[in-house]
Amino acid sequence: MYDSPHRRFNPLTREWILVSPHRAKRPWQGQVEKTAPPYLPEYDPTCYLCPGNERAGGINNPQYSGTFVFDNDFAALLPDVEGSTLKVEREPDIKPSNIQPSMLFRAEPESGVCKVICFSPRHDLSLPQLSLDEAEGVINTWTNETAALFKRPEIAYVQVFENKGAVMGCSNPHPHSQIWSQSQIPTEPAKELASQKDYFAANGRPLLLDYLAEEQKRGERILASNEHFTALVPFWAVWPFETIVIAHRAAPSLPALTQPERRALAEIFQSVTIRYDNLFEISFPYSMGFHQAPNDGLEHPEWVLHAHFYPPLLRSATVRKFMVGYEMLGMPQRDITPETAAARLRELPEIHYSKAR
Ligand code: H2U
Ligand code: ZN
């Protein structure tokens, strides 16, 4: 069946994607050239993230040596917006049958906190090029920032994410990530919350642990695995080389992880991102982010911490997949199958190409 056009179900979002494997063989007239990576200095005097340099608003960064966190100077969300609802009254709001005429022009205030997290003082070293200790430091910083935001009653959800590469809208090559946290649960985690809750209620087990057990049996989409985490190309992947990193137990959030689990997570992140860079021998662009349980004071036995990597590149350093016409108006569609993508990533060396030379 997987050789002819078919659709696949994403149980996390309860949406479908279209797979057209036969089209992967169609002629392609685009460019496939290799691009020379841009030279990056260890320190860039014009970079607003490098140690000691000035940011917008005239603030100077400290001479930091590990990770460095600051409040986003152009934050999309602001704390204590008047009238934003208290967390306890909040229900994920995705019940289309409840729409009344009075809701046709509905708007609500929204509070939140936005942070920027630099991975290291080095302007030129991305996650796959850091040492394992440094990568673990990044995981620890994401964890500590999440834990601090979870203590704030007005914060319902903490989104940790990284935009990497100009093609993903990243404004600065200095390796960094962001946290946006807010007083309502955003759309994607709200879908995942509803699906994981319903699955747990019906089957008594977390959806992602059942899924992971089945993937481990099948093996064909697995990329890397250690004691505490597994990386794989999900059965329902949309982006050509999309991956998901799944915890081996129902830990609902980063702060719920033990220190050995955080180290294991750093190790899996490095093995995914090293393979990504090795695929086209470039710094591989993507948007990555964790999905963790909401901060609503409830237990979340259904939620399994995971991270999604959404990389846009398709067949070379310059040829990307576009989510355009049919995807915008119909549904997501892909040509090469998730199994083919997993096989390509799996066969790549686990040493970063810049070190292997
Ligand atoms: P990207 O990860 O998409 O490149 O965004 C970097 C963030 O850094 C962006 O949200 C913030 C922007 O608002 N920023 C500052 O907080 N201070 C600055 O001096 C420049 C950019
Ligand atoms: Zn820099």
Per-residue exposure over 79-112, b if at least 16 CB sit within 10 Å of its own CB, e if not: beeeebeebeebebeeeeeeeeeeeeeeeeeebb
CB 48 less than 6 A from any atom of ligand 1: yes
Closest listed ligand to the CA of 170: 1
Q: What is the pLDDT along the chain (357 residues), one digit of tens a residue?
A: 788 999 999 999 999 999 999 887 666 555 455 666 778 999 999 999 999 999 998 999 999 999 999 999 999 999 878 777 655 455 555 565 778 888 889 888 999 999 999 999 999 999 999 999 999 999 999 999 999 999 999 999 999 999 999 888 888 999 999 999 999 999 999 999 999 999 999 999 999 999 999 999 999 999 999 999 999 999 999 999 999 999 999 999 999 999 999 999 999 999 999 999 999 999 999 999 999 999 999 999 999 999 999 999 999 998 999 999 999 999 999 999 999 999 999 999 999 998 876
User: How far is the C-alpha of 175 from the C-alpha of 308, rounded, in Å?
Assistant: 18
User: How far is the C-alpha of 100 from the C-alpha of 71, rounded, in Å?
Assistant: 38
From 176, 300, 308, 352, active-site residue:
176
User: What CA dihedral angle connects 230, 235, 239 and 244, to 10 degrees?
Assistant: -20
Q: Which atom of ligand 1 is nearest to the CA of 56?
A: 19
Q: What is the pTM of this model?
A: 0.95
CB 74 less than 6 A from any atom of ligand 1: yes
CA 171 / ligand 1 centre spacing (Å): 7
Of 175, 144, 146, 208, whose CA–CA distance to 286 is shortest? 175
- The question of whether 228 is a catalytic residue gets the answer no
Q: Which domains does the chain have, with CATH numbers?
A: 6-80+106-356 (3.30.428.10)
Considering only CA atoms, which residue is closest to atom 6 of ligand 1? 171
53, 61, 72, 288: residue to mutate for ligand 1 pocket, most atoms within 8 A of CB: 72
